Structure 1
Amino acid sequence: MISRFRKRHAHAVPAAGREDRFLPFGYKLMFSYLILTLVHVLIFGYVANWIFVDSVRQQTTDNVQAALRQMKDNVEYRLRDTVRLSDILYYDDGTATRLRQYREGWYSYESTTTYLLPKVESVLKATDRRISLVVYLRNETLPEIYNRYDDGDPLATADKSYDIYHMWRIRGNSWYRELPAERYGETLTWKQIERDEEFGNISLLRRLIDTGTVRDDREFGFVRLTVKLADLFETVSPDFGRGTRVRIEDADGRVLHETGHGDALQTTEENEDKQMLTITEPFQHVNWRLVATIPKEWVEKDARKVKLLTVVIGSASFLVFLLAGALLSRYFSRRVSRIVMVLDSFRHGDFRKRIRFKGKDEFSAISQSINSMVQHIDDLIQQVYVTSLKKKEAELESLQAQINPHFLYNTLSSISRLAKFGQVDQLHRMVSNLALFYRLSLNEGRTIIPVANELEQAKAYLDIQKVKYADRLDVLFEIEPELLRCEMVKLLLQPFLENVLKHAWCGDRIHIRITGRRTGDDVEFRIIDDGIGMRPELVSRLSQPYDTSGEAGYGIRNVQQRIALHYGKPYGVRIFSRPGMGTSVTIRIPYVSRTVPFAAPDNSESA
């Protein structure tokens, strides 16, 4: 790594002989090019290799999946064909009714020879596959009929055979007790029981149900159809190449059938050690799955060519970018070094130096902009800052001054009506309350007042209205004592109280509830009335702080603008109303504590 030293200006150096060490811009630019080039090559190679291998893997997976699906369909066809044989006995209501008659003698003999045996033989004749049928009957008046297999495989003795036993022979067997509850037409189980696994067989187990009775003992018999696994899975064979395996697993993960090409069959763990690609196809009507394992080396054998091509292209690209980076970094580093030198003098307070570049390019434009910026930066900051402060203060004072004349106009109109009708006492109380209201409103010219003063102003306003409306107006204040220790912009509550009395009357009376509480770092006031409410479109217009339509409420917009100017956009007014139910206005401002103590007024009062 190469580095150099650059001396600071004499007036900016805090100690004699001190030097700052840094890596030159040209080397930084060069290293950046190298890193970007290397990243580009690595990403390109990785993406190209990943896309190709993934494409091959996906194509192989799709081909194997299609082959597995065909094998699965063939197996499922044979499974359904075996189920179809059991349906001959399962859905025969006539035979079921006959076999449920517990009569000995001639009736039992006739039921066996005329109904049962012909039905069993029809099952055997309905297929050309090797099959063993065993029927267990609850009716013990019927005789047992069975063959002797000399302790061997029934399917090895005869291609087709049947036996008839009584139910007591299997009631103690676990496989019989573990059968799921009967659902007519659906409950059946494929399972290797007794010596099926030894002989390479599997059995279809199914109850015989009498649909003609509603008694609990509807099961009058049981059917066991045994077939060879080799016959059932005859079409399952791995045709995908050397080293591939195909197996069928049951719900417990036991392998029912497995076959493969190449080396001897291996366990799943061994396949994983050799990094085999596993593809699974589940059966639809039985809880089995068909699993194929294929060596990844066989799938990804063409990826080596892509890797070699990627290395060649990446190396060539890296060399080209390396040469271009060296030339560009040398060209730009010289100009950037001059800019850094001048900016460094600006950082230490020397604004006399200027940057000069020949020609018309980006560096020339940058140098001119920096020169102009340094020349005017102090005056510009001062001008913008002072002007902005004065403008904001003027807007706030203007909005604050607008609310009092608006309220005074409405109050003087009420005083005029009282004087016209000669109501001297009420006129006296209203004028006294008006004087109190304006004494609190003036507040020595301050815009920010204690919350207690704001509540007292609201109560003075409501006392003025109480003279006019008497018992028709009912007001309740619910203010948390903690709020009396903070301050706020004045005259936020009164415009909404005025709006309620002007527009919300529903009948001869109206109730107003004013609440105040602290929510985290904010203060939330609510003015709730049970008046006529407002239409949704009117609520939407009232929520727009700069709406100029006549219906949108001057006082509400005034409050919105004053809150936005003083506290910022996150704070303001939210209105919720439904016609016929009333209106709820929420005013949210930040919680600002007072430093001067004051006497707290009563925070729960009815006006």
Structure 2
Amino acid sequence: MAETNIRTGMEQTRNNILYQMDGIQRISDTLFGSLAFQQAIQKKGDPLDIYWTMLDEIIPQMTAPLQLSGNDIRLMLYTLNSDLSIVRGDNLAEPIAQNDYYILPFGEISHSEWFRSLQATERDNIWLQIDTDSKLGNISHFRRLVSYADYKTEIGYVRITVSLEDLLGDFVAFPLEEGITLRLVDRSTGISLYHRGMAEQNASREAYLSLLEEIPGTDFVIETLVPNSYLSKDAGRLQRIIITVCAISFVVMAFIGYIVARLSGRRMSRIVSLVRSFQEGNFLKRIQFSGNDEFVQIADAFNVMASSIQKLIDSVYIEGIQKKQAELEALQAQINPHFLYNTLSTIGSLANLGETDKVTEMVQGLSRFYRLTLNQGRVCIELEKELEQVTTYLAIQRVKYADTFTVHVDVEPDILQVPVIKLILQPFVENVFKHAWFGDSIAILIKACRIGDLIELKVIDNGIGMNPHTVERLLNNSRQEGGYGVKNVDERIKLLYGDPYGIQIASIYGGGTTVRILLPAGHQDGQGGEPRQ
């Protein structure tokens, strides 16, 4: 626990250092990447022009980041331009009292040992302690400035100095009064850059727990020395806590035992309820228990048994559905050849008579008709498509009968998108031409409307009509002359939608015939799915 607390504080310190370093790095990047700043520090010529350049370009760019910084920092520019004015502020040997800046000649560092070492190792854009930094508890970020003209010519150096205490932040998370010591160590040299706490620099590591936190992107590491006395001082308090926790645990376990007994009784009641539901024929009910006890095994066994029984029931049901589907598809398949034979016969007659234009028109109409009929293998199509199919059929017949018949369509617009079983109108329109025509012309009316939750379709003609006995034979005998399509459509509707729906025929001999088709308005099986029971 003590180690976790200390490590949390070290992570906070590391994050604070990274935040402060990133801010100073941005200041350095701004000066390094400013073309105007580079041109200004390389300016030569008239002293007055250089003076105004100092005021307008160099000093504003150096003072702006100082004003935005949250900590006191010292910014120094070492210039190789001998014409540039030198700006000296406070004594560099004094601590950083406030944000200040300096413009110094390169000669002040050119002969220093630390600078020659950097040149020898070609290190740049780094953090290190130089000059009086170690004495004052500071650390500096040092960077070389190069000309944008060739990216090689050195034009100066930037040094940004900050107090290590500002860099590390506060030490609230570190109980330093308990003997904990915080250090900032440079791993490349092994030198302790900062030390705060009671332990001596050369303190024995055996008396302390040493915790390390690396600072990414640098050679620095935060080291915390925690004395063993601090780690063991709370042992008595921890012992009392353990005894209290054990006592509470005993009470909790007793309570849990009582709850488990209650839950076991409830589980048994649920299993009994499941068995009773099986007796009543409800095999959809399941029980889900968590855990791995006997109740779970009993429940799983009952669930498996119920699933097996339900699968058997579903299998029998699906077989029945598939049988009805096969019957529906067989009836559907009967319609297309029946119409095809009649149309091809007419096309053959026209061809013998040399009516090539009419033959072409009928073949094109036949192609459109079967494109709509196929419907990608679907059982149902939208009512609008069914009407388009009838219109295509009538276009084919108009080639044969010319203008000897008239057709009127009266459909409510809001039901055009309702799905209906396909090829239920065309057989009745075809029967008008085959069996109802007795004069020079005939009229056909196709109506569609919504009645409550039903869709009512009507095919009305003013043909010869039928007597009641003939109507009854049409609906009950699929082999009756002229009743092939009637019985077929009626059976397909009942297979798909159920017995309440189908065909009704009203006819008066000599007065015309009305075929009424009733369908459910809410049926959505437009993909050739299973018939609804």
TM-score bin, normalised by smaller chain:
0.3 to 0.5
TM-score (normalised: structure 2): 0.42
**Could you say which structure has the greater relative contact order, defined with CA pairs below 8 angstroms and 6 or more residues apart?**
1
